[in-house]
Amino acid sequence: MSCPVCSITWITDERSGLGSVAVGGRRDLDPEILLANRIYRVVIVIPMRDLPDYSIYGIESLYAPWHDDNSLMELYEAIGFIKKAIADGAKVLVACGAGIERAPTTVVAWLLDQGYPLDAARKYVEGVHPASQIRIHWLTDVGFNTGQAEIF
């Protein structure tokens, strides 16, 4: 489920019943790559400068960088954006620097929000995108409920 000219990996697609959600990196945010993959929704979960105006290409985007003490709201915004894109029947790309940490971790958070158990969501994403480095502690650090018991 990979893109031969980019680093986009489809985590879910129409056949999964979950909608089409992919992860990718900074280079995949090029409007031409997005349009070639028929991606019309993009969630950017890292701090970036000089983003293109995606709206002129008919692409909706959400800039929701997270990974600090006050980013729970950004994470929930990203999850809501993914859910809306799927409800609208659109393909969505979740992008971070390399498509390895924050983007896959965000997709795991979305799967948790959909009711998947933590271990199943993590293993699924890692199975489809082996380069993933899921950072569950990032989710708990910002206060996201992973359903995992805290160990003291």
List domains and CATH numbers for the chain: 9-141 (3.90.190.10)
Q: Residue 7's closest CA among 133, 102, 95, 127?
A: 95
For the stretch 48-82, pLDDT in tens is 888 889 999 999 999 988 765 557 888 899 999 99
Cβ burial, residue 28 (10 Å; 0-12/13-18/19+): buried
Q: Residue 39's closest CA among 16, 13, 17, 63?
A: 13
By the 8 A CB rule, do 103 and 95 touch?
Answer: yes
β-strand partners of 21? 12, 92
Q: Cβ neighbours of residue 132 under 8 Å, at least 6 residues apart?
A: 23, 100, 101, 104, 125, 126
Q: Cβ neighbours of residue 98 under 8 Å, at least 6 residues apart?
A: 7, 25, 26
More confident residue, 149 or 26: 26
What whole-number distance in Å separates Cα of residue 10 and Cα of residue 70?
A: 29
Model pTM? Answer: 0.89
Count CB neighbours of 20 within 10 A: 23
118 SS3 class = helix
For the stretch 98-136, pLDDT in tens is 999 999 999 999 999 999 999 999 999 999 999 999 988
For the stretch 7-48, pLDDT in tens is 899 999 888 878 899 999 999 999 999 999 999 999 999 888
